[in-house]
Chain A
Amino acid sequence: MNQALDIARNHLLAPAGLAESDLDRVLGGLLGGAIDSGDLYLQLSRHESWSLEDGIVKDGGFNIEQGVGVRAISGEKTGFAYSDDILLPSLLEASKAARAIARHGETGGGRGLSVQLGHALYLPADPITALGEQAKIDLLHSVDAEARRQDPRVSQVMVSLSGLHEMVLVAGSDGTLAADVRPLVRLNVSVIVEHNGRRESGSAGGGGRSGYDFFLDHDRALGYAREAVRQALVNLEAVDAPAGSMTVVLGPGWPGVLLHEAIGHGLEGDFNRKGTSAFSGRIGERVAAPGVTVVDDGTLDGRRGSLNIDDEGVPTQRTVLIEDGVLRGYMQDKLNARLMGVSPTGNGRRESYAHLPLPRMTNTYMLAGTHDPQEIIASVDRGLYAVNFGGGQVDITSGKFVFSASEAYLIENGRITRPVKGATLIGNGPDVLTRVSMIGDDLKLDTGVGTCGKEGQSLPVGVGQPTLRVDGLTVGGTRA
C-alpha cells in the first residue's frame, strides 16, 4: 500500500478526471522523434503563515498553488513548459511546447507506469489543519512572552510561524510513478535589544517535516525565544572583529553551512558534468584531512532537508561525498547521472512545478571525530570561536566561499574571552577541509532553518557538523 500515492491520486488526478493511463498517454505523446525521455510533475501546495510583532499577531496569509510541469529531454537538451491547470488539455498543450526542443517526429504510445515506493520519513499529515488557529496564536504569544521575560533590554520581538502541506506526483517516461506528501513547519524568533543607545539583534528558530506539535514538544519554541535573546545580549558586548588569517574553531550544528558552501555545491552533478566546478574530475583525490567524512543524507526522519522521494521520483539516499578525506562521489539528478554514466542519487529537486529539477543537497553533514570540544578550544593560542552563522555563498568555479558569523568569540591562550561582532569568513573550498586539524565528538544537526538558493530556486535543506578546528581561515573583521 502506498498512502502518499492514494492521497496524491485523490487530490491531483481525481478532481480533473485524470487517470494514470492519461499520464502515460501524455508521456507517450511527449516521446518520439529525438525526444528520449520526459516527465510530468503534478503539485498541489497549501501554505500558511502567521506573524507577531509589537506583542500582537498582526498578519496571517494563506496560499494555494497548483500546477503541472512537463519536461522533454533530447540528449543534453531540455524543453520545459508548465500550466497552473491540472487538466488534460493543459497537459497536452504544455507537452507540445516542451517538445519544441527537438524536431518533431512520430510520437509513441504509452509504455506503462509502475509505482516507485519511497521512504516513510514523515507522515503525510497536514500541519495547517492539525492545529486550531487559536492554538497557533497562543503559541506565538507564548514565544513573545518568553523572549520579553528574559531581559528588560529586549525592545522588539518578532515571531513568525509557517506551515506547508505539499502533494507531488511524478510520472516519468522511464515508467516511474511516485508520489509524496510533504509537511514542513518553521518557527522563527528575532529580537532587538537596546542598551545605552546601542542596538543589537539575535534570532533563532527551527522546524522540520512534521506538524506544529514539533514546537510544543520539549517547549522547543520557548527555547528558540531564549536563544534569540541570549545571542542578542552577547552581541551587545561584542567588540570589533579581528581581520586576517587565523585558526578558527567552528561550533557544532548550524556552522555546518561551511560544508554546504565550501564543498556541497561544488559536488553537485551539473557543475561536474560541465566541468565548471573546482572539484571537477577529482573523484578519488584527497580533498580533506584524514578523518573527515562528509555525507548528504536525505533519509533522516522528519528533517527539513529530508524527502521520501526526490522530485524525479527517486528515493533519497545517504551519499558519501568525502570518505576519510578522499572525494568519493557527486550528488546527481537523473539527467546529469545519465550524461555522466552513473546512477541518480535521489538529489533531483525543484522549487515547484514551474521550475526545472537540478541536482541539489538534502541534509549535508560531517561525521563525528574523537576530540572533546573543550580540548579543541584549549588547543588554540589565538583564534576565533564561531558558533552561529547567517548565510553563505560560493563561486563554484574558483572555489572561493564565504559564510557570515553572527555570534563569535576570541580565543586567547586556549580560553574563550570576548565576544566579537559578526564577520564574514572566506576560504577556498577545495583546500579548506585539508586544514581541518581536529574533529569533535559532538556531531549536531541544525535546528531546521536552512534554505538553499540555486539558479533562482529556493529549497529547504539541512546541515550539521561536530566542533571543528580549521587552521587558517580568513576572518573579515575591521581590526587590521
Chain B
Amino acid sequence: MNAVQSLPLDRERLEAVVREVLDQAQKAGASAAEAAVSCDNGLSVNVRLGEVETLEYHRDQGVGVTVYFGNRKGSASTSDLKSEALRETVEAAARIARYTAEDPCAGLADAALMAHDYPDLDLDHPWALEAEDAIVLARDCEAAAMQADARINNSEGSELSTFRGTAIYGNSHGFIGGYTGTRHSLSCTVVAEDEGGMQRDYWYSVARDRSALESPAEVGRHAAERTLRRLGARRLSTREAPILFAPELARGVIGHFVAAIRGGALYRKASFLLDALGEPIFPDFVRIHERPHLQGALGSAPFDGEGVRTGERDVVSNGVLQGYVLDSYSARKLGLVTTGNAGGVHNLLIEPGSVTGGTADQAGLLKEMGTGLLVTELIGHGVNTVTGDYSRGAAGYWVENGEFAYPVEEITVAGNLRDVFRRIVAVGSDVDARGNIQSGSLLVERMTIAGE
C-alpha cells in the first residue's frame, strides 16, 4: 500500500482546503486570516532480535486557522477536512477572537514580505518501499550490530521509517504556497553487557533522499561501537576540566543559543542574551549562518510559517551577534522586522574553526584538548534560558594526552552559557548534518564536572 508513497490528498485538494478556510473566515467577518494544512503518509517498522516487533502505517492530516478581527485573534484546528468541519473550525476560532484582547502587535506578517516566487528546494524524494523490504533493511541493520561483538547480547531493535508529506500555507494577503517533502531514517539501539552491568547506545541516519542514508551495516556497526565503548564506565571526582561536546550534542548547545535569541524570549525579557545585538557572544573566529535554501537539506524551507520569504544571513560573524530569530509578532513587539523565522531556524550552520586559526576533526580536537572530558550523552532539562544556568547529566570518555582513557557516567557538566559560549576554543570539522542545526564537535575551555 506504500508502493509509491502516494499521498491520499494531492496538492490541489489541500490548496482548495486552505482557500475554503480563508473564504469561510472572510464570511465570518474576519479582517484577516491565515491557514495551514498538512497531509502526511508514512511507514515504520521495528525489528528486534531478528523478528518484526511493530509495523505501523501512518496517515495524518490536519488544518489550523487563525482569524483576526482587527487586532484580536483566535485560533482553531482539526484533523477533519470535510467542509462542515472546516466551517465549524473557523467558527470556533472566531468565537475565541470575540474574547481575546486588542493587541496592537497581532496580525499577519507584512504583505510586502510574502514569498510570492519561491525556489524548488529539491525536498521530495519518495521511496517506493514495501513493508517486506523495510523489514529486511531493519533486520540487516540490527544484525550488523548484534554480530559486531559477543558482549552485545540484547537489543531494543532497529527501526526503518519513511515519511512523505505536503504542507500548504495561505493567508488573506493572497499568498498561498507549499511544498512536498520526504524524510527517511534508519536507527539501531543495542545493549551490551559485561561484569560491570548493561549499557545501551544507538545510532541513526536520516535524509530526505534514501541514497543519502548510511547503509544498514554502517548504522548497525556505529550503534555497536558506541554501545561497546560505554562498557566499564566509572564516575569522576568533582573537578573543572575542558569539555569536548560531540557533534550530535553540540547541536543542542547551539540550540540553547538559538532559544535565547528568539523573539518570544526577548520581548518577555526571559533571555540571558537580552539586548545582545552587536555584542561579542562567541570568540572572534565563530561564524554561524543560516542557509534556508540549501538543496535537499533537512531544514530547508522557501518561506516561513507566515509566508515570509526566507534568505541567507549571518546570525553570528566574528563572534558578534548580527541578528535575532524573529517572527512578525515578536519583531513588532521589539520594534524590529521579522527575520523569516516563524516556526524556527532553517539550516543553521556553524563554521569549523578555532581560536588558533586551524581546523581539526574530532581526533584533532581530542589532541588539542589533551586532558578533559568528551561528552557523548546528555540527559535532563537543566537549562535555564532566563539566566543561562546550565547543568545536565552526562556520559562520555575521560581523555588523557589526547587518547581515550576510560568511559565515564553518572556525572553532570555545569556552567553559565554566557561563559560556555565565550570559552569555545574550537569548532570541529566533523559536522553532523542530521539536523536543522549543523555543528562539528565543540571544544570548551572549561566547565564544572560534578561526580563522586
Task: List chain A positions with a Cβ less than 8 A from chain B.
Answer: 53, 56-67, 76-84, 94, 97-98, 100-101, 133-134, 136-137, 155-156, 158, 192, 194, 199-201, 241, 243-245, 274-276, 278, 354, 356, 390-395, 397-404, 421-424, 426-428, 474-480
In the complex the two chains form, what is the Cα distance from A479 to B415 in whole Å?
Answer: 9
In the complex, the answer to whether B60 meets A84 with C-beta atoms within 8 Å is: yes
In the complex, the answer to whether B78 meets A65 with C-beta atoms within 8 Å is: yes
Give which listed residue, A78, A276, A426, contacts B53 with CB less than 8 A: A78
Contact of A244 with B450 at beta-carbon distance under 8 Å, contacts A60-B75, A276-B154, A476-B414 already known: yes
Q: Which residues of A have CB within 8 Å of B6?
A: none
In the complex, the answer to whether B415 meets A478 with C-beta atoms within 8 Å is: yes
A-B pairs, 9 with minimum CB distance: A476-B412, A402-B380, A402-B393, A397-B200, A56-B101, A243-B450, A424-B382, A60-B96, A404-B382
Closest Cβ of chain A: how far from B147's Cβ, in Å?
19
Instruction: Tell yes or no: B259 within 8 A of A by CB.
Output: no
Give which listed residue, B59, B93, B269, contacts A155 with CB less than 8 A: B269
In the complex, the answer to whether A476 meets B450 with C-beta atoms within 8 Å is: yes
Give which listed residue, B55, B269, B380, B452, contacts A101 with CB less than 8 A: B55
Instruction: Tell yes or no: B295 within 8 A of A by CB.
Output: no
Contact of A97 with B1 at beta-carbon distance under 8 Å, contacts A64-B89, A84-B60 already known: yes
In the complex the two chains form, what is the Cα distance from A64 to B77 in whole Å?
Answer: 7
Give which listed residue, B77, B274, B380, contacts A393 with CB less than 8 A: B380
- 25 A-B residue contacts at CB 8 Å? A59-B74, A59-B75, A60-B97, A62-B75, A62-B92, A62-B93, A64-B89, A79-B55, A84-B60, A133-B95, A133-B99, A192-B270, A201-B270, A274-B156, A354-B58, A397-B199, A397-B200, A398-B199, A422-B391, A474-B412, A475-B412, A476-B413, A476-B414, A477-B448, A480-B240
Closest Cβ of chain B: how far from A87's Cβ, in Å?
11
**B 172-197 contacts with A by CB, 8 A:** 191, 197
Instruction: Tell yes or no: B444 within 8 A of A by CB.
Output: no
Instruction: Tell yes or no: B222 within 8 A of A by CB.
Output: no
In the complex the two chains form, what is the Cα distance from A398 to B381 in whole Å?
Answer: 19
In the complex, the answer to whether B414 meets A243 with C-beta atoms within 8 Å is: yes
**B 235-272 contacts with A by CB, 8 A:** 238-240, 268-270
In the complex, the answer to whether B393 meets A426 with C-beta atoms within 8 Å is: yes
Contact of A424 with B452 at beta-carbon distance under 8 Å, contacts A77-B51, A84-B80 already known: no
In the complex, the answer to whether A474 meets B53 with C-beta atoms within 8 Å is: no
In the complex, the answer to whether B57 meets A60 with C-beta atoms within 8 Å is: no
Q: Which residues of B have CB within 8 Å of A199?
A: 269-270, 274, 386-387
In the complex the two chains form, what is the Cα distance from A274 to B387 in whole Å?
Answer: 42
Instruction: Tell yes or no: B61 within 8 A of A by CB.
Output: yes
Give which listed residue, A57, A158, A200, A476, contacts B100 with CB less than 8 A: A57
Q: What 0/1 readout, one digit per residue, does chain B (94-134) give for beta carbons within 8 Å of chain A?
A: 01111111110010000000000000000000000001000
Q: Which residues of A have CB within 8 Å of B199?
A: 397-398
In the complex the two chains form, what is the Cα distance from A199 to B391 in whole Å?
Answer: 18
In the complex, the answer to whether A156 meets B269 with C-beta atoms within 8 Å is: yes
Q: Which residues of A have CB within 8 Å of B80?
A: 64, 66, 84
In the complex, the answer to whether B238 meets A400 with C-beta atoms within 8 Å is: no
Give which listed residue, B54, B58, B59, B238, contacts A480 with CB less than 8 A: B238
Interface core residue of A67, A79, A134 (most chain B CB under 10 Å): A79
Contact of A477 with B450 at beta-carbon distance under 8 Å, contacts A62-B92, A78-B55, A398-B409 already known: yes
Closest Cβ of chain A: how far from B48's Cβ, in Å?
7
Q: Which residues of B have CB within 8 Å of A390?
A: 381-382
Closest Cβ of chain B: how far from A127's Cβ, in Å?
16
Known: A391-B380, A422-B391, A474-B411. 19 other contacts (CB 8 A): A58-B100, A60-B97, A61-B96, A62-B96, A63-B78, A77-B53, A83-B59, A101-B52, A192-B270, A200-B387, A245-B450, A275-B154, A356-B56, A393-B379, A398-B409, A400-B395, A402-B393, A478-B391, A478-B415
**B 135-160 contacts with A by CB, 8 A:** 154, 156
Contact of A392 with B389 at beta-carbon distance under 8 Å, contacts A65-B78, A276-B198 already known: no
In the complex the two chains form, what is the Cα distance from A97 to B56 in whole Å?
Answer: 9
Instruction: Tell yes or no: B79 within 8 A of A by CB.
Output: yes
Instruction: Tell yes or no: B10 within 8 A of A by CB.
Output: no
The A interface, classified by DSSP as helix, strand, loop or mixed, is strand
Q: Which residues of A have CB within 8 Å of B76?
A: 61-63
Q: Which residues of B have CB within 8 Å of A94?
A: 57
In the complex the two chains form, what is the Cα distance from A137 to B79 in whole Å?
Answer: 27
Contact of A421 with B197 at beta-carbon distance under 8 Å, contacts A243-B448, A274-B154, A400-B409 already known: no
In the complex the two chains form, what is the Cα distance from A60 to B68 in whole Å?
Answer: 12
Of chain B, the residue at the smallest CB distance from A198 is: B387
In the complex, the answer to whether A60 meets B450 with C-beta atoms within 8 Å is: no
Closest Cβ of chain A: how far from B206's Cβ, in Å?
15
Closest Cβ of chain A: how far from B135's Cβ, in Å?
10
Of chain B, the residue at the smallest CB distance from A400 is: B410
Contact of A426 with B1 at beta-carbon distance under 8 Å, contacts A397-B191, A474-B450 already known: no
Instruction: Tell yes or no: B416 within 8 A of A by CB.
Output: yes
In the complex, the answer to whether A427 meets B382 with C-beta atoms within 8 Å is: no
In the complex the two chains form, what is the Cα distance from A427 to B410 in whole Å?
Answer: 6
Q: Which residues of B have CB within 8 Å of A192?
A: 268-270, 386
Q: Which residues of A have CB within 8 Å of B233?
A: 398
Q: Which residues of A have CB within 8 Å of B377?
A: 395
In the complex, the answer to whether B78 meets A245 with C-beta atoms within 8 Å is: no
Q: Which residues of B have CB within 8 Å of A100?
A: 1, 55, 131
Closest Cβ of chain A: how far from B79's Cβ, in Å?
4
Closest Cβ of chain A: how far from B220's Cβ, in Å?
17
In the complex the two chains form, what is the Cα distance from A395 to B191 in whole Å?
Answer: 12
Closest Cβ of chain B: how far from A234's Cβ, in Å?
13
Of chain B, the residue at the smallest CB distance from A81 is: B57
Q: What 0/1 readout, one digit per residue, does chain B (210-234) give for beta carbons within 8 Å of chain A?
A: 0000000000000000000010010
In the complex, the answer to whether B238 meets A243 with C-beta atoms within 8 Å is: yes
Interface core residue of A58, A393, A476 (most chain B CB under 10 Å): A476
In the complex the two chains form, what is the Cα distance from A443 to B20 in whole Å?
Answer: 55
Q: Which residues of A have CB within 8 Å of B336?
A: none
In the complex the two chains form, what is the Cα distance from A427 to B239 in whole Å?
Answer: 18
Instruction: Tell yes or no: B376 within 8 A of A by CB.
Output: no
Of chain B, the residue at the smallest CB distance from A155 is: B269
Closest Cβ of chain B: how far from A90's Cβ, in Å?
10
In the complex, the answer to whether A395 meets B414 with C-beta atoms within 8 Å is: no
In the complex, the answer to whether A200 meets B381 with C-beta atoms within 8 Å is: no
Closest Cβ of chain A: how far from B106's Cβ, in Å?
7
In the complex the two chains form, what is the Cα distance from A58 to B450 in whole Å?
Answer: 43
Q: Which residues of B have CB within 8 Å of A67?
A: 79
Q: Which residues of A have CB within 8 Å of B156?
A: 274, 276
Closest Cβ of chain B: how far from A28's Cβ, in Å?
21
Interface core residue of A59, A79, A200, A475 (most chain B CB under 10 Å): A59
In the complex, the answer to whether B79 meets A64 with C-beta atoms within 8 Å is: yes
In the complex the two chains form, what is the Cα distance from A393 to B393 in whole Å?
Answer: 9
In the complex the two chains form, what is the Cα distance from A64 to B87 in whole Å?
Answer: 13
Contact of A278 with B99 at beta-carbon distance under 8 Å, contacts A192-B268, A476-B392 already known: no
Q: What 0/1 readout, one digit per residue, does chain B (370-405) give for beta carbons within 8 Å of chain A?
A: 000000010111101011010111010000000000
Instruction: Tell yes or no: B85 within 8 A of A by CB.
Output: yes
Instruction: Tell yes or no: B283 within 8 A of A by CB.
Output: no
Q: Which residues of B have CB within 8 Å of A241?
A: 391, 414
In the complex, the answer to whether B96 meets A80 with C-beta atoms within 8 Å is: no
Contact of A426 with B270 at beta-carbon distance under 8 Å, contacts A58-B106, A278-B197, A402-B392 already known: no
In the complex the two chains form, what is the Cα distance from A399 to B197 in whole Å?
Answer: 10
